[in-house]
Amino acid sequence: MKSIRLPLPGTGSNPSTHSQGTNPGSFANPADIGGPLSFSSPDTPGMPPVSSKTAWDFMPEDWRLSDGRWHAPDGFVPITQLEHARLGTITPEMERVAEREPHLDANQVREEIAAGRMVIPANKVHLAKELDPMAIGRATRTKINANMGASPVSSGSSEEVEKLEWALRWGADTVMDLSTGGDLDATREAIIKHSTAPIGTVPIYSMIMGRAVEDLDREIVLECLEAQALQGVDYFTIHAGVRRAHLDLVAKRLIGIVSRGGSLLAKWMLHHGRENLMAEIWDDICLLMRRYDVTFSIGDGLRPGGLADATDGAQLGELSALGELTERAWRHGVQVMIEGPGHVPFDQVEYNMKLQRQVCHGAPFYVLGPLVTDVFPGYDHITSAIGATAAAYHGASMLCYVTPKEHLGLPKRDDVKQGCVAYRIAAHAADVALGIPGTRDWDDELTKARAALNWEKHFELAFDSDTARAFHDEDMDVDTDFCAMCGHDWCAVRISKEIISFVSGKDEAYAWETPKISAALSEEQKDILQKRGVLTPEELHRLASKTRNQMGADDARAECHSEVTGDSDSAMELQDQGTSSPAAPPPAGD
């Protein structure tokens, strides 16, 4: 038979360390660490090209370039990671980032920070506590942020710390404390104290506690920023890009301004007939943040709140202002990332990412979702994770999670987990697609375990092992050479294993000898199944209270089928007894 040779796109790096499987590698651009593309998607025709500038083009006025190196004035003491990087110093934080990102070395981390394409949000105060430094940028793996915070109607400090720990457990790389109720200072203090991850805030929320937004002035703003910097906040969202000129454009929108910070500052501008206070005192804010190495997350106060308002004049006008604020912050030696939309139709996601990359000269883009449709409240962790995957592939460096409670209420523990899991999926999927070396190794290992029908290994490798195990055991609590999805006779993986010419599933490292009744459900697994409500209390009790003997431990062999016994009748018996519903037909496309 003639082999099929279809043209494939030029391939970038291989995300699988050992080039395993038959995949030709990533279809993204080849890696360009040290250049403006780093790990990037090929441009769809018409996309804005990269900026020809970097943070090196926006140096402090009193620094001088000689012998190919930048020199600070005499007596200058570097504080921020950006300043150290510009002077050629590799800090312990850069070393730590290189350890956590094995595809980068510490000098590459330093170079990316110096170029403004990477940030290490690490306030000196938090560094002296428990902070474990991490980096956000196009050359690093995609990061996710989880939001939390007490509201005036729900939650308190201890509940927020519990949510923080829960978010870290489920893979949040940074956490934002967005408290607007309760004791804001105490909640923030508690969160910073307990967090190994960087903590971000939107300081204007504290600024207006007990006062009208119209009363804000320079002194109040700086005093509040200083207090939070002293507590150890690692990055501040400041909505300085909203300008008076943009407000007329907002009037035509379906849903106006949906950012709390953006709407408050719009009110301030209209009341005072002045430009945005945060923009007016931007240089003062930069000087203050530099002292602690607080990183900017320059806020998108005019992000669209619905598909109808995406990529409109107000949003793009603000983006242009964000580019100018970035340049000024870099001149002060302050690290910068930029916040982005919001609600964006899928076809416009790439344009939004690449426009930001151009206007903000490659400063890391930190996006909320974006949601790619508006009509699934209750499921916006999914609508937004779809947009987030596209955003990360096309240029975003950090994804702010959205939970199922988005637009509806304050997220609870399980919502935090659902949001984190959805966003870990988005980030990982994008990293594999971008060809970041080593990112697919995890997938490849799990594929090998799946091919060998090695359930224990399969669940051990799963991101959420408890859910995977509980779902499997809900139907059939025996680890054997099929599951309840297709049943014994229709199990394609089992059938494939029997075709001698295939090597599929024969990796010795994943071999298993005898089918085994699975261990008793853990409390967490029991909880998962209880919430699903499929099993009766008696069935749940049986799964949760198995003894070692019942499980066929030691030399007591479970009475169930495997390809080792080749006993088809036992298999059918097991299938009939062990599944709570008749065997389902094979999945579509199998």
Rounded Cα–Cα distance for residues 325 and 339 (Å) = 12
| E strands present in 68-167 | 69-71, 118-119, 136-137, 143-148
CB of 482 to ligand SF4, least distance (A): 4
CB of 422 to ligand SF4, least distance (A): 23
CB of 458 to ligand SF4, least distance (A): 9
- The pattern of x and - marking residues 435 through 474 that bind ligand SF4 according to CB under 6 A reads ----------------------------------------
Comparison of 190 and 453: residue with beta carbon closer to ligand SF4? 453
Spatial contact of 487 and 546, defined as CB atoms under 8 Å apart: no
Comparison of 172 and 491: residue with beta carbon closer to ligand SF4? 491
Comparison of 336 and 483: residue with beta carbon closer to ligand SF4? 483
Rounded Cα–Cα distance for residues 269 and 314 (Å) = 16
Instruction: Pick the piece of the chain touching ligand SF4 (CB under 6 A) from 154-162, 408-416, 441-449, 479-487.
Output: 479-487
Comparison of 160 and 479: residue with beta carbon closer to ligand SF4? 479
CB of 132 to ligand SF4, least distance (A): 38
Comparison of 357 and 494: residue with beta carbon closer to ligand SF4? 494
Spatial contact of 274 and 280, defined as CB atoms under 8 Å apart: yes
CB of 455 to ligand SF4, least distance (A): 9
- Residue type at 94 in one-letter notation: M
186-215 positions binding ligand SF4, by CB under 6 A? none
Rounded Cα–Cα distance for residues 552 and 313 (Å) = 67
CB of 95 to ligand SF4, least distance (A): 44
Q: Which of 207, 150, 212 is nearest to 182 (CA)?
A: 150
Comparison of 366 and 471: residue with beta carbon closer to ligand SF4? 471
481-520 positions binding ligand SF4, by CB under 6 A? 482-483, 485-486, 491-494
Rounded Cα–Cα distance for residues 443 and 461 (Å) = 9
Residue 411 preceded by cis peptide, ω within 30: no
Comparison of 205 and 482: residue with beta carbon closer to ligand SF4? 482
Comparison of 235 and 482: residue with beta carbon closer to ligand SF4? 482
89-108 positions binding ligand SF4, by CB under 6 A? none
CB of 583 to ligand SF4, least distance (A): 9
Comparison of 462 and 493: residue with beta carbon closer to ligand SF4? 493
In this structure, how many other beta carbons lie within 10 angstroms of the beta carbon of residue 262?
25
- Residue type at 413 in one-letter notation: R
CB of 411 to ligand SF4, least distance (A): 32
Rg (CA), the chain: 27
Q: How many residues in the chain?
A: 590
Q: State the distance between the two ends of the chain, measured CA to CA, in whole angstroms.
A: 24
- Residue type at 141 in one-letter notation: R
Instruction: Pick the piece of the chain touching ligand SF4 (CB under 6 A) from 24-32, 105-113, 252-260, 477-485.
Output: 477-485
CB of 449 to ligand SF4, least distance (A): 11
CB of 505 to ligand SF4, least distance (A): 10
Comparison of 41 and 454: residue with beta carbon closer to ligand SF4? 454
Comparison of 19 and 496: residue with beta carbon closer to ligand SF4? 496
Rounded Cα–Cα distance for residues 302 and 260 (Å) = 10
Residue 2 burial class via C-beta count within 10 angstroms: exposed 0-12, middle 13-18, buried 19 and up? exposed
CB of 544 to ligand SF4, least distance (A): 23
Eight-state DSSP code of residue 409: S
Question: Which pairs with CB-CB distance under 8 Å and at least 24 residues apart come from 526-535?
Answer: 526/470, 528/466, 528/467, 528/470, 528/471, 529/470, 529/473, 529/474, 532/474, 534/474, 534/580, 535/474, 535/580
CB of 494 to ligand SF4, least distance (A): 6
Rounded Cα–Cα distance for residues 504 and 493 (Å) = 9
Comparison of 51 and 570: residue with beta carbon closer to ligand SF4? 570
Q: Which of 82, 78, 79, 177 is nearest to 120 (CA)?
A: 82
CA distances (Å), origin 500, targets 12, 204, 232, 494, 506: 34, 66, 61, 12, 10
Spatial contact of 411 and 419, defined as CB atoms under 8 Å apart: yes
CB of 483 to ligand SF4, least distance (A): 3
Spatial contact of 234 and 213, defined as CB atoms under 8 Å apart: no
Comparison of 131 and 483: residue with beta carbon closer to ligand SF4? 483
Q: Which of 586, 568, 580 is nearest to 535 (CA)?
A: 580
Instruction: Pick the piece of the chain touching ligand SF4 (CB under 6 A) from 36-44, 148-156, 198-206, 478-486.
Output: 478-486
Binding residues for ligand SF4, rule CB under 6 A, total: 8
Contacting residues toward ligand SF4, per CB under 6 A: 482-483, 485-486, 491-494
